[in-house]
Chains A and B, each alone.
Chain A
Amino acid sequence: MIDQTAPPIIVECQRQGGIAFPMRRPKITLDVAGLPAEERATLQHLVQAADMAGQPADYPGPGYPDALETQLTVIWPSHSATVRFRDGDGHPAPLDELAGWVLRHNRPEQEKK
């Protein structure tokens, strides 16, 4: 049984696809140790809610045209988990919330919403 309550050390998120497919979208990597305590706590809460260990590695998407694909990876000290999901494939909302937080977090302060 994987212990998901331990603090993660790295969280990665990459999105690709969508109507603008070939455009390159950078992989965002967050080093958790470099975050302020409050943000570490928020991130840990989002990671636990996402239940990465309980997700399939790849959600079988229905193949909607222009669906955006997201790949999330969480690395703990002793293990890691990666989940890939797409728009409209039935994945749980906490995966989107974690991905959105990671993507937003990497942006310059003045650009965060």
Chain B
Amino acid sequence: MCQHDGCPPHVCFIIPPHMMEHVATHSPDPTMRRRAMRNLYHQGRIRGMRESMNQFAFAGLATGTKRRTIYDAKHGGDLPGTLVRSEGQAAGKDVAVNEAYDYAGKTYDFYMQVLKRNSVDNKGMRLDSTVHYSTDYDNAFWNGQQMVYGDGDGHLFDRFTKCLDVIGHELTHGVTQFTAGLDYSSQSGALNESFSDVFGSLIKQQAAGDTAAKADWLIGEGLLIPKAGTNRTALRSLKAPGTAYDDPDLGKDPQPATMKDYYSGSDDNYGVHINSGIPNHAFYLAATKIGGKAWEVAGAIWYEVLTTRLQLWSEFKDAAAATREVAQKHGAAAGTAVDDAWKAVGL
């Protein structure tokens, strides 16, 4: 058994975190940086030290400066792929490259201008994105250090760089990783998903200048390729969970709006994309009751809770209690709106 101090029984990492952090931040080899980051991720999870992800900045990254790099996987699976566009370079002909660049920029600007957050890690982390990942790939994901986008299959899904709120959603997973660290399972995972939907929507609303009353509150509108006679509106709706799609090929949107319809099965990491409808709807109700631009008050409340009040295993009741408390800072009307919103969804 390992005799190192700090290692739990039967588990030992030979390379200490500070060395791994150095590799993750200073190695010129992207593969080495990726491996080191993954090791840090596992070490942090096993040791309960999410701070291992939070306490260092990334190499070569000037703080307070927007830094975007876009790579092309050329339909393969190797990350990050071939560098095709760096910060400040002009747009080219590749739509996916341009969208990944532009929307990462809008997401950075939202976090910096609205929430005073300096990139995903609040330390100026460079926003790396890879487009044209794999073939017929129907997904986008955040792998702990960068964004990855597929082109879609052209049958059900369009390219995944198409929607600003999808890109905002994925980059917000990065914000959550560096703050609350919400575990991606059960209610903490549904909160993780919900915060990504909330801020993805707010990023889109802010870019469009929409008020809460005018916003569509949809995630991924236009990502599904339309088909006559079916509902392929979007991936999710914060306004009306359970109504975003209804299609013979895709099934029906199963998201509940309230705890009465809470999903208790084991699919989807115990419902992270399903039960997120409940806190999503609570945010929508609070934001529309408060009125005005949703990112100004409701968004500020949710952001403070995400970054200062929640932790790895937080549940819905924790998020409800924390947002109720933080809302009081924004006045009685905001406090009432948030309280009513959680009550309406059964919390």
A87 touches B220 (CB 8 A): no
Q: What is the predominant secondary structure among interface residues of chain B facing chain A?
A: loop
CB distance from A19 to the nearest CB of B (A): 6
Inter-chain CA distance A62–B45, complex, in Å, is 10
**Residues of B contacting A100 in the complex (Cβ-Cβ under 8 angstroms):** 134-137
Q: How far is the CA of A87 from the CA of B148 in the complex (A)?
A: 10
Give per-residue flags for A49-67: 1 if the beta carbon is below 8 A from chain B beta carbons, else 0.
0000000000000111111
B222-273: which have CB < 8 Å to A? 223, 235, 245, 249-251, 253-255, 268-269, 272-273
> Could you tell me if A19 and B192 are in contact, using CB atoms closer than 8 angstroms?
no
Q: A103-B153, A107-B153, A111-B155 are in contact. Are A20 and B135 (CB under 8 A)?
A: no
B268 touches A21 (CB 8 A): yes
Chain B CB count within 10 A is highest, among A18, A26, A113, for A18
Indicate if B313 sits at the interface (CB-CB under 8 A): no
B120 CB, nearest partner CB in chain A, Å = 13
Instruction: Take A64-B144, A113-B136 as given contacts and tell me if A19 and B77 are in contact as well, using a CB distance cutoff of 8 Å.
Output: no
- Chain A residue numbers with a CB within 8 Å of B173 are 65-66
A:54-107 near B, CB below 8 Å:
62-68, 87-88, 93, 96, 100, 103-104, 107
Whether A65 contacts B192 in the complex (CB less than 8 A), given A19-B235, A20-B138, A113-B154, comes out as yes
Number of interface residues of A (CB under 8 A): 28
Q: Which residues of A contact B77 (CB under 8 A)?
A: 93, 96
Distance of A22 Cα from B308 Cα, bound (Å):
30
Q: Is B196 an interface residue, CB under 8 A from the partner?
A: yes
Bound CA–CA A58/B183 (angstroms)? 21
Q: In the bound complex, how far is the Cα of B254 from the Cα of A96, in angstroms?
A: 29
Chain A residues within an 8 Å CB radius of B185 = 63
Q: Is the CB of A96 within 8 A of B134?
A: yes
Known contacts A20-B235, A88-B141, A93-B76; is-contact A62 B41 (Cβ 8 Å): yes
Interface size class of B (residues with CB under 8 A): 35 or more
Q: Which residues of A contact B193 (CB under 8 A)?
A: 65
Residue contact A65 to B141, C-beta cutoff 8 Å: yes
Partner of A62, one of B38, B135, B250: B38
Complex alpha-carbon distance, A87 and B34, angstroms? 14
Decide: A22 near B38, CB < 8 A? Known: A15-B138, A68-B141, A96-B134: no
Quick check: A19 and B169 within 8 Å, CB to CB? yes
- Which A residues are CB-close (under 8 A) to B169? 19
Also in contact, A63 and B254, with CB within 8 A (given A20-B157, A107-B155, A113-B154):
no
Q: Chain A residues with Cβ under 8 A from B268's Cβ? A: 17, 21-22
What CA separation (Å) do A19 and B274 show in the bound complex? 11
Question: Given A22-B254, A87-B143, A93-B78: A66 and B134 within 8 A (CB)?
Answer: no
16 contacts between A and B (CB under 8 A): A17-B268, A19-B166, A20-B138, A22-B254, A23-B235, A26-B249, A62-B41, A63-B184, A63-B185, A64-B142, A65-B192, A65-B196, A66-B142, A68-B138, A88-B148, A100-B136
Q: A19-B140, A25-B138 are in contact. List 14 more A-B contacts (CB 8 A).
A: A20-B220, A20-B223, A21-B272, A22-B254, A22-B273, A65-B170, A65-B173, A66-B142, A67-B139, A68-B137, A93-B77, A100-B135, A107-B153, A111-B155
**Residues of B near any A CB (own CB < 8 A):** 38, 41-42, 76-78, 134-144, 148, 153-155, 157, 160, 166, 169-170, 173, 176, 184-185, 192-193, 196, 220, 223, 235, 245, 249-251, 253-255, 268-269, 272-274
